[in-house]
Structure 1
Amino acid sequence: MNPSTQLRPYPTRRSLLWTAATAALSAPLLTACVTAGAKDEGEAAAGGEKTAGNPMGVRAGAPLEVVVFKGGYGDDYAIAAEREYTRRYPQAKVDHKGLQKVGEAMQPRFVAGNPPDVVDNTGAGRLDIATLVGAGQLTDLAGLLDAPALDQPGVKVRDTLLPGVVDDGTFGGTTVALNFTYTAWGLWFSRSFFAGRGWTFPKTWAEMLTLCAEIKKAGLAPWTYQGKYPEYLNDPLLSLAAKAGGLELIKAVDNLQPNAWRQEPLVQAAGAIAELAGRGYLMAGSEALSHTEAQAAWCRRKAALIPCGSWLESEQKGVTPAGFDMVMGAVPSLTGDDKLALQAASSESFVVPAKAKNPAGGQEYLRILFSKASATAFAKANSTLPAVAGATDGLELSSGLGSVRDAVAAAGAGTFSYRFRTWYAPLAKAVDDATGELANRRISPADWSTRIQKAADAVARDTAVTKYTR
């Protein structure tokens, strides 16, 4: 993320920052988009002949408009895919827009029925994808997923993607988004600093508390976090709960089941975070820090550990000291009997609007973007794991990206992710707010659980909210 923007990175880069701005975008969009019809539907559906070389049926001279979130990854990778598109379709004019406030710019266009052909719906204030789905505003990408991969003969696009990528973009059985990056969430530390102090990254929460005591005794804060955005602290909390409670716990939360947030592993995980605060293991003043400020403090070794997703190394390129050797470790085990291993999911969400003028071109652009060559170039430039399997094979990886790749490989089928944040923006914000209060000792773990359950029940009762299950 460009530090000057002060935006919450990607999902958020997953589906991360669900702010009041997002909620404000959602409500008017739903009603307006349902009735929007400024463009002739036949025009949107028109395409060219489908052939082996043109599996999406792109009209050779049709213009293509691409809108990309220009955050921490920049937009050079997207422009490179546009160059390849132009090489393949030289008669087509490509209109590229790199934006930081995608939702603010795109809402009026979706309402007017005149959206671009491809949108990278990412960043703070992005459009609520569940609302877009409910309004029928996104193209079914099944044809793209079943098309041949650009540079892997005999392989479908869907079979080139890492586990969970297709599911992450699927709503009600229809895949409407493809996420370009693969994010893992954990706790970051300086490998060189830990080695110099003789510290070992903990495997259990009991070991974490012991380590924190040693770090505090050495005169620095054990943890800091991005206090203005408490969802960062939700990652270890929810990971602790999922590792102990397993997939059934996650399903209960995502499916809005009664008392899901009162499950014992969730209350215990909230207690673990509260204990960090109670023992003085969170750096003083963290509550007031933005993500860039907290991460800069961590890079200056004012704190030993920080929770973050795997975009951190790329985001800290300009401020990380030489020899810092940052790496990510999986959140330790709460109970010592883990059912799951690592929170990981795809992010950087690309969609093709249903009312795009050139939907075939939009899907062909994504076929190019999600090629192995494109993903490998992205990994080299951004120290970030792409969603395309094998994209980092043979590369000499940085310390951070190498640790993420190793963590994902070690987790195997034990990766997990929650979906409530993507499906229900108001609930996501309620969780974030409650965790912020918990970390600052203004509510207890039991209050945290009760407060969030009340918000989940309100969403479950709201007949205007489309419900999803897993």
Structure 2
Amino acid sequence: MTHPGEITRRQLLRRIGLTAFVAGPGAGLLSACATAGTGGEPSAAPSTSIAASTSPQNPFGVDAKKPLEVVIFSGGYSDAYAKDLHEELYKKAFPGVTVKHTATQQIGTQLRPRFVGGDVPDVLNNSGPESMDLAALAAEGHLADLSVLFDAPSVDDPAKKVRDTVTPAVLDNALINGKDLVLNYTVSHRALWYNAKLFESKQWAVPTTWAEFTALGETAKKEGILLFAYPGQKGPYYQLWNVLYTAAKIGGNQVIIDLDNLVDNAWNAEPVKQAVAAWADIQAKYGDKAYFGLDHTQTQVKQLQNKLLFYPVGSWVENEMAKDKPMDFEYAIAPIPDVTGSDKMPYGAIQVGVGENFVVAAKGKNPQGGLEYLRIMLSKEGARGFTEKTQNLTVVNGAAEGLDLPAGLMSAARAQDKAGQNIITDARFEGWYKELFDYGTEQINVVMAGRITPEKFCANMQKKADGIKKDDSVAKQTRNQ
């Protein structure tokens, strides 16, 4: 039943598929190390040759006798969607084929030596705190060209190209150095997440201004509840994202675009300073430094126990904590409150993006099979099954029609609908300049702990950005929106 003022699930899904990404949000988790000695220009990758014996059913000419190796980041989405769904669909397409499946949370630790040694998997789900530097891998010719995938006939309708079945943000965010090298598979909403049932029981309103936010902090403190917390271990980038999105809320998306483009003094811009100062003040007055010693799962358990109100994370959290979530907890999304009286983006602006990176190894043993595996993932059966298993949406248009979505995801979709065109863009330097993003995740803990001032944080980040800008060995990227 639809309540007055709400929209139907069908409407939500249609808007997610057709209008969510007009602002061109950036890619997802693209940090951590790749291999050493990356140059400024991409080296020529081995051509992913397509066999002559192709068909709409096998557009890449996959050799059914060749094994396929798939490495999956087993985080918030787990790895069952790959092992029990996508890999089984691949085996169905090529009876008798062997698929080697590896699940890990240590992508960089496990994969870096393999890329150096030339023994690479065919498909890599590059995600999590140890995800590899895709710009560096691209510079070394490790990533297969995905333009052939996007131009291939779709599994569901050979008359349609794959590129015509996905949200346009997939194509925008596939690019590294102007080449289609990355597939972002999921739709995510990043903002402040809270327990709607707790707020209902306390008759608390979700704050829309910073004054209301701090007033709620005082009320919650009296009841022994933190207003806000983030994980200081294996998750400080959650708070770095939060600060960046707050800066965009204050000064508009151009703030983040300037950071990505390494514009002079971009980190010293007033909206960035205001955002860092606002959150450092929240931490000092309403936070707990003990959370700096917790990882993301431990922090999320604290929230499930109603020990903290707001947590900066993405919509994957609902599935990640599904087994631990008590009956009296209902995930809901809250936009960042108005920070100043003159924020460029109105209350309700939220970040919506595509993420969960997949790449095919150009120097792998079976790149054709890797491309076909991604094509199967982008089928409606592959995408719908992913949503059923993870309770998260994919980038495939219409694939989740009719599914019973969880409360948190419905909350996020409603928030997205209310935001309209006020979508906060993602920071692409996360994937473009690993060293800068990793440094930011270190510095955010330092400033939030009160060991440096917000001004010093911005100065430190600017100095690091300037060094990268002057380093000719680092390939530079640019964006217009």
TM-score, structure 2 as length reference:
0.86
Q: Tell me which residue corresponds to 1:269.
A: 275
Q: Tell me which residue corresponds to 1:73.
A: 77
Preserved CA contact (<8 Å) 2:87 2:99: yes
Alpha-carbon separation, structure 2, partners of 1:267 and 1:65 = 46
Preserved CA contact (<8 Å) 1:233 1:307: yes
Letter matched to residue 478 of structure 2: T
CA offset at residue 422 of structure 1?
Answer: 0.8
- Judging changes above 3 Å, is the alpha-carbon distance between structure 1 residues 316 and 291 closer, same or farther for their aligned structure 2 residues? same
Q: Tell me which residue corresponds to 1:440.
A: 449
User: What's the RMSD between the two structures over aligned residues?
Assistant: 2.5
Is 1:469 the counterpart of 2:473? The answer is no
Q: Tell me which residue corresponds to 2:404.
A: 396
Preserved CA contact (<8 Å) 2:70 2:123: yes
Q: Tell me which residue corresponds to 2:150.
A: 145
Q: Secondary structure at the match of 2:357?
A: strand
Alpha-carbon separation, structure 1, partners of 2:400 and 2:206 = 25
Which of residues 186, 201, 212 is equivalent to 2:191?
A: 186
Q: Tell me which residue corresponds to 2:162.
A: 157
Alpha-carbon separation, structure 1, partners of 2:102 and 2:223 = 49
Preserved CA contact (<8 Å) 1:63 1:94: yes
Q: Tell me which residue corresponds to 2:364.
A: 356
Letter matched to residue 372 of structure 1: K
Q: Tell me which residue corresponds to 1:408.
A: 416
- Judging changes above 3 Å, is the alpha-carbon distance between structure 1 residues 274 and 315 closer, same or farther for their aligned structure 2 residues? same
Q: Tell me which residue corresponds to 1:430.
A: 439
CA offset at residue 333 of structure 1?
Answer: 2.8
Alpha-carbon separation, structure 1, partners of 2:306 and 2:216 = 16
- Judging changes above 3 Å, is the alpha-carbon distance between structure 1 residues 116 and 218 closer, same or farther for their aligned structure 2 residues? closer
Q: Secondary structure at the match of 1:374?
A: helix
Preserved CA contact (<8 Å) 2:44 2:141: no
Letter matched to residue 190 of structure 1: N
Tell me the percent identity: 37
CA offset at residue 14 of structure 1?
Answer: 2.5
**Deviations for 1:191-218, whole angstroms, at most 9, x for unmatched residues?**
0100111111122323222222222233
Which of residues 347, 371, 386 is equivalent to 2:379?
A: 371
Is 1:103 the counterpart of 2:108? The answer is yes
Alpha-carbon separation, structure 1, partners of 2:460 and 2:187 = 31
- Judging changes above 3 Å, is the alpha-carbon distance between structure 1 residues 373 and 425 closer, same or farther for their aligned structure 2 residues? same
- Judging changes above 3 Å, is the alpha-carbon distance between structure 1 residues 69 and 364 closer, same or farther for their aligned structure 2 residues? same
Q: Tell me which residue corresponds to 1:8.
A: none
Preserved CA contact (<8 Å) 1:65 1:116: yes
CA offset at residue 431 of structure 1?
Answer: 1.5
Higher mean C-alpha deviation, range 116-125 or range 448-457: 116-125
Alpha-carbon separation, structure 2, partners of 1:358 and 1:182 = 28
Preserved CA contact (<8 Å) 2:71 2:125: yes
**Deviations for 1:45-99, whole angstroms, at most 9, x for unmatched residues?**
3635222222222233333222222233222211211221222222533222223
Preserved CA contact (<8 Å) 1:216 1:281: yes
Structure 1 residue runs without a partner (length 5+): 1-11
Q: Secondary structure at the match of 1:285?
A: helix
CA offset at residue 178 of structure 1?
Answer: 0.5
Q: Tell me which residue corresponds to 1:418.
A: 427
Alpha-carbon separation, structure 1, partners of 2:298 and 2:67 = 42
Letter matched to residue 161 of structure 2: K
Alpha-carbon separation, structure 2, partners of 1:216 and 1:154 = 59
Q: Tell me which residue corresponds to 1:316.
A: 321
Is 1:329 the counterpart of 2:343? The answer is no
Q: Tell me which residue corresponds to 1:218.
A: 223
Which of residues 252, 266, 270 is equivalent to 1:246?
A: 252
- Judging changes above 3 Å, is the alpha-carbon distance between structure 1 residues 26 and 405 closer, same or farther for their aligned structure 2 residues? farther
- Judging changes above 3 Å, is the alpha-carbon distance between structure 1 residues 328 and 13 closer, same or farther for their aligned structure 2 residues? farther
Alpha-carbon separation, structure 2, partners of 1:293 and 1:157 = 39
**Deviations for 1:209-257, whole angstroms, at most 9, x for unmatched residues?**
2222222233321112112232221222111111222232121100111
Is 1:295 the counterpart of 2:303? The answer is no
- Name which structure has the greater RCO, CA cutoff 8 Å, separation 6+: 2
Alpha-carbon separation, structure 1, partners of 2:417 and 2:375 = 25
Alpha-carbon separation, structure 2, partners of 1:237 and 1:163 = 27
**Deviations for 1:300-357, whole angstroms, at most 9, x for unmatched residues?**
1111111111111111122211121111222223235443822232222111111122
Q: Secondary structure at the match of 2:191?
A: strand
Alpha-carbon separation, structure 2, partners of 1:36 and 1:163 = 27
Count of residues in Structure 1 that have an aligned counterpart in Structure 2: 447
Q: How does 1:224-235 map to 2 (within 5 A)?
A: 224-228=229-233, 229-235=235-241
Q: Tell me which residue corresponds to 1:55.
A: 59
Letter matched to residue 439 of structure 1: M
Higher mean C-alpha deviation, range 324-333 or range 107-116: 107-116
- Judging changes above 3 Å, is the alpha-carbon distance between structure 1 residues 99 and 431 closer, same or farther for their aligned structure 2 residues? closer
Q: Secondary structure at the match of 1:396?
A: coil
Alpha-carbon separation, structure 2, partners of 1:72 and 1:369 = 18
Letter matched to residue 305 of structure 2: R
Q: Secondary structure at the match of 2:333?
A: strand
Q: Tell me which residue corresponds to 1:169.
A: 174
**Deviations for 1:391-442, whole angstroms, at most 9, x for unmatched residues?**
3322211111212232334334433111011111111122222221221111
Alpha-carbon separation, structure 2, partners of 1:410 and 1:374 = 29
- Judging changes above 3 Å, is the alpha-carbon distance between structure 1 residues 102 and 287 closer, same or farther for their aligned structure 2 residues? closer
Alpha-carbon separation, structure 2, partners of 1:132 and 1:107 = 10
**Deviations for 1:135-193, whole angstroms, at most 9, x for unmatched residues?**
11111101111222212464322232234222223111111110222222111111010
- Judging changes above 3 Å, is the alpha-carbon distance between structure 1 residues 110 and 36 closer, same or farther for their aligned structure 2 residues? farther
Preserved CA contact (<8 Å) 1:13 1:122: no
Q: Secondary structure at the match of 1:249?
A: helix
Q: Secondary structure at the match of 1:344?
A: strand
Q: Tell me which residue corresponds to 1:120.
A: 125
Alpha-carbon separation, structure 2, partners of 1:13 and 1:302 = 31
Q: Tell me which residue corresponds to 1:14.
A: 28
